[in-house]
Structure 1
Amino acid sequence: MTQSSPIPVGHFVDIAPVAGAPQRVHYHEAGPTDARETVIFLHGAGAGASGYSNFKGNYPVFAEAGHRVIVLDLLGFGLSSKPDVEMYDTDFFVAGVKGLVDALGLKQVTLLGNSLGGAVALGYALAHPADVARLILMAPGGVEEIDTYLAMPGIANMFAVYKAGKTGAEAMREIMLQQLFDPSLLSDEIINERAPIALTQTKAARSVMKVPNMTERLHELRCPVFGFWGVNDRFNPVGGAMKIVENAPHARFELVNRCGHWVQVEHRELFNRLCLDFLKHG
């Protein structure tokens, strides 16, 4: 970790132009480069979000099990480029992931995404089905209308903090406490990783993002889909799990009790074990 970065600095790749200009994607990589399948981790939104902060307790286990893992920072987040555009939308994020996939020459990837990252995974699989072998989703966005999400208590609180102009560690804690069923899991380490990055983000990252309701297109998915949803999620309504299993042909979900929006953090061992089993057996 460098003194200038609150998270470890991994690798950077320059990708094809997005939003009218060349962009740079930051990512961490682990595991064998000759693995049969690569797992790409896609984090959620929110102030200071990054792939490392979301998945540091998960991706090393996947690598130790023999998978090549890529943990990227979506455009606009982490240490990736942050183009100052009016609004971020699904196409913008999908284009960033596609740029990384093409730049690294990846084939038949597994996309693993939570919240916004789950919506990006769905959008990518619908736009580029030949690239995707499997999806692993954790309380993904993109299966409700925007007003439904904005009415959720966690999202309403987040935008209230933004509107009040609050910044720094205490503002971050106020937002992040809504993520977890068990607030004791919100460590100072997470706050200290995210708060400095939040200060580098553009207005678009703190605003409503244009993510369509993809429910009516889920029948187009041909890859296996495995997912998790915390019963106590305060950001994305748990009813979204039924929308996916009722519409995607090859989908199954685990509903996790005493769990908020971060199943990979709150129930780390369960999450890691079930994901690795899915990657092995489908």
Structure 2
Amino acid sequence: MKLKGRLPEGHYANCANGYRIHYLDEGQGEVVVFLHGSGPGASGYSNFKGNYRHLVDAGYRCIIPDHIGYGFSDKPNDVDHPLSFFVECIKQTLDVAGVEKCTLVGNSLGGVIALGMALEHPERVEKLVLMAPGGLSDLAEYQQMPGMQKVFKVFGSGEPVTPAVMKDLFATGLMHNPEHATDALVEERMQIMQIMNGHVMATMQVPNLVDRLHELECPVLGFWGMDEKMMPENGIMAMAKNIKHLRLVLATECGHWVMVEHEAMFNRYCLDFLQHG
């Protein structure tokens, strides 16, 4: 692994569909795959740099991909990005990495991709960790959320996204405590923002999966910040009422990024869930 700007550069999977997906791969043991969310300058490392090493130190092999359209992965501008495309790229990346079965940890977009993987390839998914996943509400409900409205406003204005604009978006749209919107985080995201083409966010298609949640057979650990400004709260009960084997953590003083705002708690709960279910 080497540094590329502020971000580490790891491995590249040449997927069967012809696209190249970047991923970090650290540690030995049972496999845990971290699936990041969407947004400006998103990448796997930026989302989970405070989490995956805790599991590496505990004896797990951690894989942290950049989704198609994000990070150092390919960014095609001539295809749409339905959920099935994201799932296909993650599955084929795991094929290249030699992973037959794993636990998936996903937040936001990464959460609905984790759900898609578990529903379409249940034999590959041992457990799920979901942090305010997408796919639990309809588009009109997302559009009513203040954080989501801010994202649409920032990216619909046509104005350049400056570090100050990005910092404000994180501090007021994605977090409860603005102190977590650090200059280092903004620098990481700005680095990727320079190579994003915007097409992925414009063509993303995420279905409402609530009616399929009952199909999940694997154990699920869920997190939801009670100061969430991005995801509608009906997602809490959608998970609670429809997932059979669920442990659900509701975190106060927490926005969209529980793994950042309550890093130590998140890491402890994940390790306990991996070890004990």
TM-score (norm 2): 0.96
Q: 1:187 aligns with which of 144, 168, 182?
A: 182
1:96 pairs with 2:92: no
SS at match of 1:28: strand
Q: How far has the Cα of 1:111 moved from its partner?
A: 0.5
Identity of aligned residues (%): 44
Given that 2:137 and 2:234 are in contact with CA atoms closer than 8 Å, whether structure 1 keeps it comes out as no
1:57 pairs with 2:50: yes
1:172 pairs with 2:166: yes
Aligned to 1:14: 14
Aligned to 1:223: 218
1:16-49 deviation line (CA, Å, top 9, x unaligned): 11xxxx11111111111xx1x2000000000100
1:231-266 deviation line (CA, Å, top 9, x unaligned): 001001233122112111111210000000000000
Q: Which runs of 5+ in 1 are unaligned?
A: none
Q: How far has the Cα of 1:6 moved from its partner?
A: 3.2
SS at match of 1:71: strand
Given that 2:82 and 2:203 are in contact with CA atoms closer than 8 Å, whether structure 1 keeps it comes out as no
Letter in 2 for 1:167: V
Letter in 1 for 2:195: T
Aligned to 2:112: 119
**Take 2:3 and 2:216, find their aligned partners in 1: how far apart are those partners?**
44
**Take 2:213 and 2:47, find their aligned partners in 1: how far apart are those partners?**
26
Q: How far has the Cα of 1:144 moved from its partner?
A: 0.5
Given that 2:77 and 2:200 are in contact with CA atoms closer than 8 Å, whether structure 1 keeps it comes out as no
Task: Provide closer, same or farther for how the CA distance between residues 3 and 29 of structure 1 changes in structure 2, counting only shifts above 3 A.
Answer: closer
Q: How far has the Cα of 1:107 moved from its partner?
A: 1.8
1:24 pairs with 2:24: no
Point out the more displaced range, 78-87 or 131-140.
Answer: 78-87
**Take 2:272 and 2:63, find their aligned partners in 1: how far apart are those partners?**
19
SS at match of 2:33: strand
**Take 1:46 and 1:259, find their aligned partners in 2: how far apart are those partners?**
18
SS at match of 1:207: helix
1:239 pairs with 2:230: no
Point out the more displaced range, 247-256 or 171-180.
Answer: 171-180
1:87-112 deviation line (CA, Å, top 9, x unaligned): 32211110110111111121221010
Aligned to 1:276: 271
